[in-house]
């Protein structure tokens, strides 16, 4: 696959990739953008090569996940070494939060984000890949680099946690569900 072809494929997957990067970066827009940029750079430099062993989306998501983990570790080390680096990040985050202001206003979505953030990383990833990215469990397992059985366990546990959160929220707020229902690929 040449660069032009790869570029067009990446462009198609860009918004989904950004959503996945957001999930991997704990909903930090600036960090997610940086991770995505690093991933594209890796692809351009040939450090990440698509060999056709899985679908392009699965491969790309696996690269994004690995890159996000690597960037998080680097950031952690930098934060230990350079204390003043947080100021820049705060500013970038506030700028990136601008377009999502309307979405932020939704109280339920805020709570949902909070509930997602409280979940263990693996459970959050499994739920995101299945519900958000419409991937099957085997594809999700491939992205996460674990077996299908483990992915299913994370998915079920995460779903159980969110169900508990939902029932708690519904009883507390009396929310009526009138949202679009889409079939799942699970």
Which residues are near another protein by CB under 8 A?
A: 7, 10-11, 14-15, 18-19, 22, 29, 33, 36-37, 40-41, 44, 74, 77, 96, 99-100, 102-103, 106, 108-109, 112-113, 127-128, 131-132, 159, 162-163, 166-167, 177, 179-184, 186
Closest CB to another protein among 11 and 90? 11
For the bound state, the minimum distance from the C-beta of residue 43 to another protein, rounded and expressed in Å, comes to 9
List the structure tokens of 152: 């299913």
For the bound state, the minimum distance from the C-beta of residue 159 to another protein, rounded and expressed in Å, comes to 7
10 within 8 A of 43, measured Cβ to Cβ? yes
Quick one: residue 82, left, alpha or beta (phi over 0 = left, psi -120 to 50 = alpha)?
Answer: beta
Closest CB to another protein among 14 and 49? 14
Closest CB to another protein among 53 and 179? 179
For the bound state, the minimum distance from the C-beta of residue 119 to another protein, rounded and expressed in Å, comes to 12
For the bound state, the minimum distance from the C-beta of residue 11 to another protein, rounded and expressed in Å, comes to 5
List the structure tokens of 170: 């519904």
């Amino acid at each position: 696959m040449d660069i032009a072809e790869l570029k067009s494929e990446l462009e198609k997957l860009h918004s989904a990739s950004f959503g996945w990067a957001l999930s991997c970066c704990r909903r930090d827009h600036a960090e997610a953008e940086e991770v995505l940029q690093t991933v594209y750079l890796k692809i351009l430099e040939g450090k990440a090569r698509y060999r056709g062993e899985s679908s392009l989306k699965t491969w790309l998501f696996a690269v994004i996940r690995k890159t996000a983990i690597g960037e998080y570790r680097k950031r952690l080390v930098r934060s230990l070494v350079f204390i003043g680096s947080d100021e820049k990040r705060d500013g970038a985050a506030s700028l990136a939060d601008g377009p999502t202001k309307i979405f932020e206003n939704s109280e339920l979505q805020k709570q949902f984000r909070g509930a997602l953030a409280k979940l263990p990383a693996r459970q959050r990833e499994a739920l995101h890949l299945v519900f958000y990215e419409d991937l099957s469990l085997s594809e999700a397992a491939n992205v996460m680099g674990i077996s299908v059985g483990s992915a299913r366990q994370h998915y079920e546990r995460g779903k159980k946690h969110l169900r508990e959160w939902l029932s708690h929220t519904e009883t507390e707020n009396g929310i009526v569900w009138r949202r679009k229902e889409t079939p799942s690929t699970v």
